[in-house]
Chains A and B, each alone.
Chain A
Amino acid sequence: MHRRGLLTSLLAAAVLLLPPQILPWFTDCSYYFYLIDLMGIFAIGTLGLGLLVGFAGQISIGHAAFMAIGAFFSGFTTLQLGWPFWLALPAAGLAAGVSGFALGFPALRLSGQYLAIATLGFGVAVPQVLVKWESVSGGFNGLKPLAPMLFGYKLSLEEDYYYLVLITLLLMGWLARNVVASRTGRAFIALRDSETAAQAMGINIAHYKTLAFAFSAFYAGIAGSLYAHLVRFIGATDFNLGMSVNYLTALVVGGLVSIPGFIAGAAFITALPHGVNALTRGLPGGMKAMAQNFPQVLTGVVLILVVLYLPQGLMQLWTGLKAGWAAKVRGRRGENSRDTARG
């Protein structure tokens, strides 16, 4: 087992780390790495939302607002205050985290549908406020953050940015896994399953609820900062309700309580419009009119189907496949050993 594990790790490392170095020699592929970077960034944001919604059982339809806070914090501090990127990135996460903590307080008194609406209101209000705050957000002209300088190296190529996103994603994923496995994680789950019961068991609801919001916002803030320095143009109105809905969709599609699921769901949702665009390219004229709304309709249909038939998201397919395969293997082994009693 050890040798297999080592081999798999090496293979994984090679596959993850080498392509950005090799591929540019063959072709212009910054488009693909741009998409992969976006997927990774979105995955970080989804991790945070997953902690809040999947594990702590809260609802948030305003996640994009925290991403906006992180993005503009990072953009503003690097552009106007001259902060170095390695400082702005975590600081952006912290800034967003603090606002998440602040949102947690009113959330204490609300649950279910009311919480959904409150976060909706928050999510729609923040971009509006940001737009008015012209000195920070550039108003309707937005901000144009620069490519980040890290260790004296300018990350302006998508292939290079990839490493930044990858490392951050792995770090945040590791952090998420540790949170879930810790006492805090167990408190979150208790909170989700029954708030009243949790309280009866002595868990400090207020503490953990606000902490959950803070965590999710922190993740979104980090994602926001990475986003700002990748796209290098951010307008307050880009972080709208549609983006928040995309986050929720990623969560539901990928699997509410599965960390790899969060990442898979995020990748799926980010790639979906581009995939559909590529598919509908070759369609004849009459179909073109249909094609225009296709990504939206498809997303809606996917949402409906997943909710109806795959409540645990895509990861349910994955685990289902694995279980089926394992059962098959066991079955064959059972036949060979003629020991059918042992399943």
Chain B
Amino acid sequence: MNRENWLRFIVWAAVSMFIAAVIAGCGAASKRTASGVTDNNIKIGAFGALSGPVAAVGVPVRKGFEAYISYINDQGGVNGRKLEVIFEDDQFNPANTLAAVKKLVEQDKVFAISPGLGTPGVLATLDYLADKQVPFIYPMTGASQPAYPLKKNTFVVQPNYVDEAKILTQYAADKLNAQKVAVLWQNSDIGKQGLEGVKAQLAKAGVQLVYEGAHDVKDVDFSTHILKAQEAGADTVILYTVVGQCAGILKEAKKQGYKAAFVTTYINSDLNLIKLAGDAAEGLIVAGWAAITDVNSPDYKKFMEIYQKYNNTSEMPSGYATAGFIAGEILVEGLKRAGKDLDREGLLKGLESLQSFNGILAKDITYTATDHSGVKSLIMFKIQNGTIVEISKDRFALKP
């Protein structure tokens, strides 16, 4: 292609870009406008993987979140304003997340971001949102960066995996008489942090780590791991992985007749685990940070009712849907407390006034001006007779 055509092409491309940008610029309002709040409307932005391999997490989160928001809107909204949710798909690619968040904040002018799903996306946009002072409510990740160091605009809900693993190890030592512990972990940020937490707590808990084995994200063969854990004589096995792999490990353990205490992270407090593992899941101890256990409790029933009504379905909501639901509850409570005269500062103050807040699923949520790290204690559940039951009403936290 000769030079003339080159230039023509450049002009053609650049002109279209320019025009597009100008149109976009004209379409948007002036530079400084009210951020996402009108007299009867509040715009909320959210991001998560809605397509691609992680969609199995993102889609339920969105369903749970939007169900609660629709429920609130049907009741008249918050202080007379209805909530409008713009949920962007980032396909678990942080470059896309950053683009989506920029669009939400700058073009759509959302009032706040809630929730944001996925560690890479959260890590990529955390600083941007803090710089722009956009309230970020419930970054859904087990990483610790959103909580520490404190950011004025960011409110974390679920405990991070390192702390959780420490609590689990201590629990195993105190309540399960564990002495030799094995850790089977997923080769990802989840598993790595879990292993780190366990290792950090070994001395205090007085237990010995006799075996640790990693498996890949989509692994199917766990025979080696079970064999080695058995060989090392572990009486307690801590599983740091997601539902699919957890079920696979439990099935393998049952197949080999390995009798040890199995403990796992709150990621697996999900009815899907029982669906997948069947009776191999009997006796599994699962941590949880939200009291979503008893499917017969009035709270859970209310949640299910809302979920099924607004999603037009009769399927059972998954653990991820409950997380989305709780995000909605915390956001709405914060908005309520911010009052009719709504601005971002007000939302932040409103959230910081939460003290042992109890919603339908959200329980015991506390924030202060110096602590936005959310839930720090766990409830322990056990899988018994095909359902998840609370072992006790106690909550377990880290002792300093």
Query: Do A and B make up one complex?
Result: yes
Asked whether A259 and B1 contact (CB < 8 A) given A31-B99, A34-B102, A273-B96, the answer is: yes
Which residues of B in the span 69-118 have a Cβ within 8 Å of any Cβ on A? 86, 88-89, 91, 93-96, 98-100, 102-103, 106-107
Asked if B356 CB lies within 8 Å of chain A CBs, one says no
Do B7 and A31 touch (CB < 8 A)? no
Q: Which of A5, A31, A234, A295 contacts B106 (CB 8 A)?
A: A31
Asked whether A292 and B55 contact (CB < 8 A) given A16-B10, A27-B30, A29-B21, the answer is: yes
- Chain A positions within 8 Å of B119 at CB level: 140
Q: Mark each residue of chain A from 227 to 257: 1 if its CB lies under 8 Å from any CB of chain B, else 0.
A: 1000111110110001000000000000000
Q: Which of A9, A231, A296 contacts B7 (CB 8 A)?
A: A9
Kindly report which residue of chain B lies nearest to residue A173, judged by CB atoms. B6
- Chain B positions within 8 Å of A140 at CB level: 119, 188-189, 192-193
- Chain B positions within 8 Å of A233 at CB level: 94, 98, 120, 123-124
- Chain A positions within 8 Å of B391 at CB level: none
Which of B12-20, B275-283, B335-343, B347-355 makes up part of the contact surface? B12-20
Do B123 and A28 touch (CB < 8 A)? no
Which residues of B in the span 21-50 have a Cβ within 8 Å of any Cβ on A? 21-22, 24-26, 28, 30-31, 50
Which residues of B in the span 140-189 have a Cβ within 8 Å of any Cβ on A? 143, 145, 188-189
Do B55 and A260 touch (CB < 8 A)? no
- Chain B positions within 8 Å of A258 at CB level: 1
Asked whether A29 and B24 contact (CB < 8 A) given A15-B11, A231-B94, A293-B51, the answer is: yes
Q: Mark each residue of chain A from 216 to 233: 1 if its CB lies under 8 Å from any CB of chain B, else 0.
A: 000000000001000111
Number of interface residues of B (CB under 8 A): 54
- Chain A positions within 8 Å of B123 at CB level: 141-142, 144, 233, 235
- Chain B positions within 8 Å of A237 at CB level: 120
Asked whether A32 and B24 contact (CB < 8 A) given A8-B11, A227-B95, the answer is: yes
Question: Secondary structure at chain B's binding surface: helix, strand, loop or mixed?
Answer: helix
Q: Mark each residue of chain A from 258 to 283: 1 if its CB lies under 8 Å from any CB of chain B, else 0.
A: 11100110010000011001000100
Kindly report which residue of chain A lies nearest to residue B191, judged by CB atoms. A140
How near does chain A come to B69, taking the closest CB pair, in angstroms?
13
Asked if B4 CB lies within 8 Å of chain A CBs, one says yes
Asked if A52 CB lies within 8 Å of chain B CBs, one says no
Which residues of A in the span 133-159 have a Cβ within 8 Å of any Cβ on B? 139-142, 144
Asked if A179 CB lies within 8 Å of chain B CBs, one says no
Kindly report which residue of chain A lies nearest to residue B8, judged by CB atoms. A8
Asked if A19 CB lies within 8 Å of chain B CBs, one says yes
Asked if B52 CB lies within 8 Å of chain A CBs, one says yes
- Chain B positions within 8 Å of A9 at CB level: 7
- A11 and B106 CA atoms in complex are apart in Å by 29
Do A8 and B192 touch (CB < 8 A)? no
Kindly report which residue of chain A lies nearest to residue B121, judged by CB atoms. A233
Q: Mark each residue of chain A from 19 to 43: 1 if its CB lies under 8 Å from any CB of chain B, else 0.
A: 1000100111111101110100000
Do A15 and B103 touch (CB < 8 A)? no
Do B55 and A231 touch (CB < 8 A)? no
Q: Which of A31, A141, A227, A292 contacts B89 (CB 8 A)?
A: A292
- A293 and B53 CA atoms in complex are apart in Å by 11
Do B50 and A292 touch (CB < 8 A)? yes
Asked if A341 CB lies within 8 Å of chain B CBs, one says no
Asked if B59 CB lies within 8 Å of chain A CBs, one says yes
Asked whether A12 and B14 contact (CB < 8 A) given A27-B25, A141-B143, the answer is: yes
Asked if B9 CB lies within 8 Å of chain A CBs, one says yes
Kindly report which residue of chain A lies nearest to residue B27, judged by CB atoms. A27
- Chain A positions within 8 Å of B102 at CB level: 30-31, 34
- Chain B positions within 8 Å of A263 at CB level: 13
Do B14 and A38 touch (CB < 8 A)? no
Kindly report which residue of chain B lies nearest to residue A278, judged by CB atoms. B103
Kindly report which residue of chain A lies nearest to residue B4, judged by CB atoms. A5
- A11 and B15 CA atoms in complex are apart in Å by 9
- Chain A positions within 8 Å of B25 at CB level: 23, 26-27, 29
Asked whether A12 and B21 contact (CB < 8 A) given A142-B120, A231-B94, A259-B1, the answer is: no
Kindly report which residue of chain A lies nearest to residue B94, judged by CB atoms. A233
Do B189 and A5 touch (CB < 8 A)? no
How near does chain A come to B337, taking the closest CB pair, in angstroms?
29
Kindly report which residue of chain A lies nearest to residue B123, judged by CB atoms. A233
Do B1 and A238 touch (CB < 8 A)? no
Do B189 and A141 touch (CB < 8 A)? yes
Asked whether A277 and B120 contact (CB < 8 A) given A23-B22, A292-B59, the answer is: no
Do B13 and A31 touch (CB < 8 A)? no
- A8 and B98 CA atoms in complex are apart in Å by 35
- Chain A positions within 8 Å of B24 at CB level: 27, 29, 32
Asked whether A260 and B9 contact (CB < 8 A) given A30-B106, A140-B188, A233-B124, the answer is: yes
Do B88 and A277 touch (CB < 8 A)? yes
How near does chain B come to A313, taking the closest CB pair, in angstroms?
14
Kindly report which residue of chain A lies nearest to residue B102, judged by CB atoms. A31
- A133 and B52 CA atoms in complex are apart in Å by 27
Asked whether A274 and B15 contact (CB < 8 A) given A141-B123, A242-B52, A292-B50, the answer is: no
Do A19 and B99 touch (CB < 8 A)? no
Kindly report which residue of chain A lies nearest to residue B6, judged by CB atoms. A260
- Chain B positions within 8 Å of A26 at CB level: 25-26, 31
Which residues of A in the span 151-169 have a Cβ within 8 Å of any Cβ on B? none
Do A38 and B95 touch (CB < 8 A)? yes
Do A231 and B95 touch (CB < 8 A)? yes
The chain B residues found within 8 Å of chain A, CB to CB, are: 1, 3-4, 6-11, 13-15, 17-18, 20-22, 24-26, 28, 30-31, 50-52, 55, 59, 86, 88-89, 91, 93-96, 98-100, 102-103, 106-107, 119-120, 123-124, 127, 143, 145, 188-189, 192-193
Query: 5 more A-B contacts (CB under 8 A) besides A32-B20, A32-B24, A242-B52?
Result: A12-B7, A31-B99, A235-B94, A277-B89, A277-B100
- 7 pairs, CB–CB < 8 Å, chain A vs chain B: A15-B14, A140-B193, A233-B98, A260-B1, A292-B59, A295-B91, A296-B52
Question: What 5 A-B pairs are tightest by C-beta distance, nearest first?
Answer: A140-B189, A233-B124, A15-B14, A27-B25, A31-B102
The chain A residues found within 8 Å of chain B, CB to CB, are: 5, 8-9, 11-12, 15-16, 19, 23, 26-32, 34-36, 38, 139-142, 144, 227, 231-235, 237-238, 242, 258-260, 263-264, 267, 273-274, 277, 281, 292-296
